[in-house]
A and B are shown apart, each in its own frame.
Chain A
Amino acid sequence: GNSVTQMEGPVTLSEEAFLTINCTYTATGYPSLFWYVQYPGEGLQLLLKATKADDKGSNKGFEATYRKETTSFHLEKGSVQVSDSAVYFCALSDRGNTPLVFGKGTRLSVIA
């Protein structure tokens, strides 16, 4: 079946550091890929998405490129801020009627 594996957290970085959160997936066909962010005590918000191979999703300085050859969708940001502290979830949709498949989430803490 479909699955998503993302790096274990927590990840702690200093402000202005470079961020990478790894995400790899297993799926049949050509899934769509998503990154969601969850701030403390809140629901998840869509951060970015990519619907086909080599697409790059971007939002708020975050980027992720859909790499079919490595089945990956790693999240990156060049310079993190304290306000980026949150839990980040990678997810995939197989375009059928099945629910999205989520990774377990990676907690990011950014310290000033």
Chain B
Amino acid sequence: DGGITQSPKYLFRKEGQNVTLSCEQNLNHDAMYWYRQDPGQGLRLIYYSQIVNDFQKGDIAEGYSVSREKKESFPLTVTSAQKNPTAFYLCASSARDRGSYGYTFGSGTRLTVV
């Protein structure tokens, strides 16, 4: 079955460390997205990529970095510059015609700073 996989489900980071969250899709979708969700809050867009080797900043890109070397993969690195990284991170993908089909979401990664 096609889908989008995020790993790990839970991740713990020490202060000052960089961590990378994985997002892989086998839906042949062109575009991929990263969102952050804080408790009781909505979704905030971090980065998105419409095509391989290209990506754009979202609303809260500071302290995060991404790469898009393959169509299937869009990893997110939470750097030590992100001062409050504890949150639930959601990855999504969409076909070119997102107006008709919307997004497909992964099941999320919960990141906690210890």
Contacts and interface: CB of A to CB of B under 8 A. Distances in A.
Interface residues of A, number: 25
Contacts of A103: 42
A49 interface: yes
27 contacts: A32-B99, A32-B102, A34-B102, A36-B102, A43-B90, A43-B108, A44-B43, A44-B103, A44-B105, A46-B104, A49-B102, A51-B100, A93-B99, A93-B102, A94-B99, A95-B98, A95-B99, A99-B33, A99-B48, A100-B94, A100-B103, A102-B43, A103-B42, A104-B41, A104-B42, A105-B41, A105-B43
B98 A100 contact: yes
Interface of B: 6, 33, 40-43, 45, 48, 50, 58, 90, 92, 94, 98-100, 102-108, 110
A42 interface: yes
B100 A105 contact: no
A23 interface: no
Interface of A: 31-32, 34, 36, 41-46, 49, 51, 89, 91, 93-95, 97, 99-100, 102-105, 107
A89 B103 CA distance: 13
Nearest to B35: A102
A43 B99 contact: no
A112 to B, nearest CB: 24
A104 B35 CA distance: 13
B108 to A, nearest CB: 5
A3 B112 CA distance: 31
Contacts of B58: 99
Query: Considering residues B42, B108, B110, which has the most beta carbons from chain A within 10 angstroms of its beta carbon?
Result: B42
A46 B103 CA distance: 8
B105 A43 contact: yes
Given A34-B102, A100-B94, A102-B43, 4 more contacts: A32-B102, A43-B108, A44-B92, A93-B102
Contacts of A104: 41-42
